[in-house]
């Protein structure tokens, strides 16, 4: 039984669920339109604007949802996947999944749509190590925010039981939401995002941490940029 008094009251429980759903919907809409991959990102052909998109992602997918989950829903950082979790499983997941996904991504950068879309700041970001490091730092913030929202907030923000049926449900919900948010990106990435979202969701659920999917996803992003350039 959960000791949180909000969850003992049906009225408070419904209210908390309404807040959770509202934040999930509004955050995704703002993220899609003002960050990636909505209209805003199509003009992000300079480093400063691309970094700005990452900052918007951090506010909408990390700062606001974490405040709601921690303060309003009464979750802890560990419950939201911000701890190390099962680090042995997580390290195995990185070891087996990262090389396969990185190689697959590198091969996929031969797609003209990928080459046009990436890297987000434009090919000129590769003109100096200084610019590249700035972009990768912002990109890492983006991936932490992205993984927290989908594999932390959506996956565990409304977790009521740690059993098999609940796992299938929440993994599917976050995977579908993650797939839909990719609309507007290159077709190959859109298609790949669905199985990848199931994989990342399963890794986060099984490891009880978002950090292993962050590591894999960030490695894929770097490979994608380098291959596209």
> Taking the C-alpha atoms of 125, 223, 201 and 15 in order, what is their torsion angle to the nearest 10 degrees?
0
Which tens digits make up the pLDDT trace of 158-196? 865 556 678 899 999 999 999 999 998 999 999 999 999
Domains: count for the chain: 1
User: Reduced to 3 states, what is the DSSP secondary structure of residue 185?
Assistant: strand
User: Reduced to 3 states, what is the DSSP secondary structure of residue 183?
Assistant: strand
Q: How many whole angstroms separate alpha carbon 149 and alpha carbon 30?
A: 13
Which tens digits make up the pLDDT trace of 18-32? 999 999 999 999 999
- Contact predicate 123/135, CB 8 Å: no
Which tens digits make up the pLDDT trace of 87-121? 999 999 999 999 999 999 999 999 999 998 999 99
Q: How many whole angstroms separate alpha carbon 129 and alpha carbon 122?
A: 14
Which residue range forms the structural domain that includes residue 217?
5-228
Q: How many whole angstroms separate alpha carbon 106 and alpha carbon 226?
A: 8
pLDDT of residue 5: 45
């Amino acid at each position: 039984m959960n000791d949180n008094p909000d969850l003992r009251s049906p009225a408070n429980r419904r209210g908390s669920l309404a807040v959770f759903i509202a934040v999930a919907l509004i955050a995704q809409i703002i993220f899609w339109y003002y960050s990636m991959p909505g209209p805003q990102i199509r003009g992000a052909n300079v480093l400063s604007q691309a970094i700005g998109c990452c900052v918007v992602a951090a506010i909408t997918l990390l700062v606001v949802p974490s405040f709601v989950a921690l303060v309003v829903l009464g979750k802890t950082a560990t419950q939201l996947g911000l701890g190390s979790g099962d680090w042995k499983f997580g390290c195995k997941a990185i070891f087996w999944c990262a090389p396969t996904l990185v190689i697959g991504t590198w091969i996929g950068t031969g797609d003209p749509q990928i080459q046009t879309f990436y890297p987000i700041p434009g090919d000129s970001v590769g003109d100096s190590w200084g610019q590249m490091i700035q972009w990768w730092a912002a990109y890492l913030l983006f991936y932490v925010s992205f993984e927290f929202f989908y594999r932390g907030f959506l996956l565990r923000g409304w977790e009521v039981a740690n059993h098999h049926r609940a796992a299938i449900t929440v993994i599917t919900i976050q995977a579908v939401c993650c797939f839909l948010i990719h609309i507007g990106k290159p077709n190959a990435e859109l298609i790949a995002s669905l199985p990848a979202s199931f994989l990342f969701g399963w890794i986060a659920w099984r490891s009880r941490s978002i950090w292993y999917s962050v590591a894999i996803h960030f490695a894929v992003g770097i490979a994608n940029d380098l291959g596209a350039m």
